[in-house]
Amino acid sequence: MDLASARLRNAALLGAGIVAVAVLAITSRRAASESSPAESARSSSASAVAPVEAHADAEHGERSMPPADAVLAARLAVELRDAKLAGKKTHETSLDQLDDAALARLVGDVAADVEVREAAAIVLARRGSPESTSALCEAVLESIRHGMDPARRNLLTIVSTVASPAATAALTRALGDAELRVYAARALAKLGTPESVSAVLACAEADPSDAAPVLRALERTQSPDAVAPLRARIESSTSPAVVRAAAAAAVRLGDASVPSMLLARVDDPVLASARSEILDIVASSKGGGARPALLEATEHPDAAVRAAAIRSLGRDPNALARERLQRLAREDADPDVRALAASLTTKTSGTAHAESPGK
């Protein structure tokens, strides 16, 4: 469909929407004129008190858009689609001409077009003033109250682009929603302030069932404030999932002490079920401690630990790793460990030849 055809189609859709709203208004006025004098008086009084308040659905009690906002949302939906076809940005549309209050009403109303709501949120976030940020956060919290709102997750991400106390407070409140907790934790981690990191850590402490995915969200932060609390959990947690999540996040933050901390706990019985995953995390560490820690683990008295270390070394094309695998393939006391080392020796040798110059 070319641009002209798309615009004609969108204009027709907009016209139909406006006609529908006009018919609804006429029908409402006709019904009002036929009501009793007492009912008319009550209706007039209510209109005078709150002329722009959201209307409630009689059956479900849900908020819906006032007619004027509904027309605006329909027009903006068409405009945004035209802008996409023309390669324009959100800030090049009339959304940027609306005041904070109008934008916030669009963001917070679950009946509006999702793209319009997210675009309105982006405009508020881009403005960055305390007033705009406050309006954005209040609107997003309003949307969170509607459990079926399809825009909730993306709106949290948009809030995370604004480094302000209001954004931290709103995202911290969102941690209280079990369905949104991990997404709110990721958004707080992205903010990366001491307050937002503390909120994520406090959430992990408050609800152990969600501690691992919440801590894993800290992989997205660049804040050094997360390192010490993550180390504490690596060293002392009795939950394998929490240890793995904290270690993975610490590795992403570049903490070179992770391999030695994990290796110190590899004999801990509470972590027996997670030894292979823990040594995989050691192998993924970008610091200089990963290979020495894995080489040390290949001498462990427990065959399961040696096997886990061998699997991690099997992805390392380094000559020291190959030599250790070759020795273990010949000398390890456990036949299964010898067989595993032999199979991985072949793979690492093939990788080394493939990466060697002139081969």
Q: Which two tokens stand for residue 356?
A: 């060697």
Q: Which of 279, 308, 277, 273 is nearest to 293 (CA)?
A: 279
What are the CA-CA distances from residue 140 to residues 66, 102, 114, 169, 188 (Å)?
Answer: 19, 14, 13, 12, 15
Per-residue b/e over 284-321, b at no fewer than 16 CB within 10 Å?
bbebebbbebbbebbebeeeebbbbbbbbbbebbeeeb
CB 307 within 8 A of CB 337: yes
- Report which listed range, 99-103, 109-113, 316-320, 349-353, is most confident: 99-103
Residues near 37 by beta carbon (within 8 Å), at least 6 away in sequence: none
355: confidence class by pLDDT, cuts 50, 70, 90: very low
Q: Please state the rounded mean pLDDT for residues 328-352.
A: 82
Q: Which residues contact 283 (CB under 8 A, 6 or more apart)?
A: 290, 294, 312, 313, 315, 316
- For residue 358, what pLDDT band results from cuts at 50, 70 and 90? very low
Residue 181 has pLDDT above 80, yes or no: yes
pLDDT score for 348: 56
pLDDT of 136 reads 95
User: Above pLDDT 90, what percent of the chain?
Assistant: 23
pLDDT of res. 100: 93
The model carries a pTM of: 0.62
From residue 290, give the alpha-carbon distance in Å to each of 58, 254, 259: 63, 12, 6
Look up residue 39 and give its DSSP letter.
H
Q: What's the pLDDT at 76?
A: 79
pLDDT band for position 30 (50/70/90)? very low
Residues with Cβ within 8 Å of 30's Cβ and at least 6 positions away in sequence, in order, are none
pLDDT at 144: 84
Q: How confident is the model at residue 59 (pLDDT cuts 50, 70, 90)?
A: very low
Q: What is the band of 38 on the pLDDT scale with cuts at 50, 70, 90?
A: very low
pLDDT digits over 224-257, tens only?
Answer: 888 899 999 999 888 888 898 898 888 888 888 8
Q: Which residues fall within 8 angstroms of residue 70, CB to CB, at 6 or more apart?
A: 17, 21, 64, 111
pLDDT in the model for residue 278: 84
Q: Which sequence spans correspond to the domains of the chain?
A: 65-163
Maximum mean pLDDT: which of 103-117, 127-141, 274-288: 127-141
In terms of C-beta density within 10 A (0-12 exposed, 13-18 middle, 19 or more buried), how is residue 59 classed?
exposed
| Position 302 pLDDT exceeds 50 | yes
Give the pLDDT confidence of 123-162 residue by residue, as tens digits.
999 998 999 999 999 999 988 887 778 888 999 999 999 9
Residue 247 near residue 289 (C-beta atoms within 8 A): no
Query: Contact at 8 Å (CB) between 348 and 316?
Result: yes
Is the distance from CB of 82 to CB of 95 less than 8 angstroms?
Answer: no
Report the range out of 73-82, 120-129, 281-290 with the highest average pLDDT. 120-129
